[in-house]
Structure 1
């Protein structure tokens, strides 16, 4: 059994991921800001550790990563209009996670980003969306430049629909939606698959079963 640290452990994708990791024989370690969130996660099989992403430093991140074999960065600053949190959570949270993993020798790192963040934004994108896209883009750049065995997943619009188990996965795909549960299933699929190291894929709903989609993307 491998312990897997999940940054943003109380998020909707993460809650799906916890269940999948338990079924795969892993021990999810959900990093949470509010102790009360443990009440939602421990029944799913997660262990919880406290981490305030915005007010913790690299050493704090390293401490809660201790004993883990991999890190999944699935945190986000939320859908509200708080521009500052796009930097402090989506970007700086990722940067501190990367640095902490490198510091204590965790090699495997899977990051949840967003579709199309390398593309030029339209003039009417708005300040909040621009801040979000730039934060995700810069976090991905930092991870690609790190020493870690990374995989970057860039899902399209997230929904709470029932999982289909089928996706479209490639370096670039047409924009579309995808259930959060299917994003979690792809994370779980790539986490133990060494073929996915150094790969960055966009991800939306599709017609190809997840295992087949990952194999096809690796060999493309």
Structure 2
């Protein structure tokens, strides 16, 4: 599957590109600067789209799926570990629809019980995916951390006792696993570190 990865400026996005390649998908990495191209190729990206040289919308051409990580803005490359850039989600959804993309996985690094403006922006982004009739999955995570993945999580439509953090490598594994897991199609799920293997945790949903 040809999969566009938006948010490769962060380590989570790098893990996603590598894991997609390891699973014999064809990852397309969207980067904000030309100096990231070689790094993405080494990780296994089949194609790299630099916004310094190519139009944003062109990155979606020929892609069957999108994995959007809220940890970076595709327009600026600036780290945004908490708040989903609502406008960039809108732009991505419009471009995906224009190019016939059917599958959209959105990662929101935000607690499910957070309130206020940030929560409203997150909700609007998710509602947009529903309205545009993508086969979508929204994955809300606890705080991403730069630690080795353990390959185990707790996942659910709601999580009563959230741990404070989850390794970025495990977030990437959840995003990649979700692509083909029908049990999470058209659902918003919460994920944190846990004791269940990632594949099994998603299948249980």
Note whether the superposition's TM-score is higher than 0.5: yes
Change (3 A) 1:195 1:80: closer
Matched length = 195
Change (3 A) 1:164 1:63: same
Q: Is the 8 A contact 2:137 2:186 kept in 1?
A: yes
Q: Give secondary structure in 2 for the equivalent of 1:183.
A: helix
- TM-score scaled by structure 1? 0.81
Q: Is 2:196 aligned against 1:197?
A: no
Q: How does 1:14-29 map to 2 (within 5 A)?
A: 14-29=13-28
Q: Is the 8 A contact 1:115 1:202 kept in 2?
A: no
- TM-score scaled by structure 2? 0.86
Aligned to 2:203: 215
Aligned to 1:35: 34
Q: Is the 8 A contact 1:51 1:64 kept in 2?
A: no
CA distance in structure 1 between the aligned counterparts of 2:153 and 2:186, rounded to whole angstroms: 20
Change (3 A) 1:134 1:40: farther
CA distance in structure 2 between the aligned counterparts of 1:10 and 1:80, rounded to whole angstroms: 11
Unmatched segments (≥5 aa) in structure 1: 122-129
Q: Is the 8 A contact 2:16 2:176 kept in 1?
A: yes
Q: Is 2:171 aligned against 1:183?
A: yes
Q: How does 1:68-217 map to 2 (within 5 A)?
A: 68-75=63-70, 76-77=72-73, 78-79=79-80, 90-117=85-112, 119-121=114-116, 130=117, 132-173=118-159, 174-176=161-163, 177-217=165-205
Cα offset, 1:7, TM superposition: 1.0
Cα offset, 1:145, TM superposition: 2.2
Give the alignment's Cα RMSD to 1 decimal: 2.2
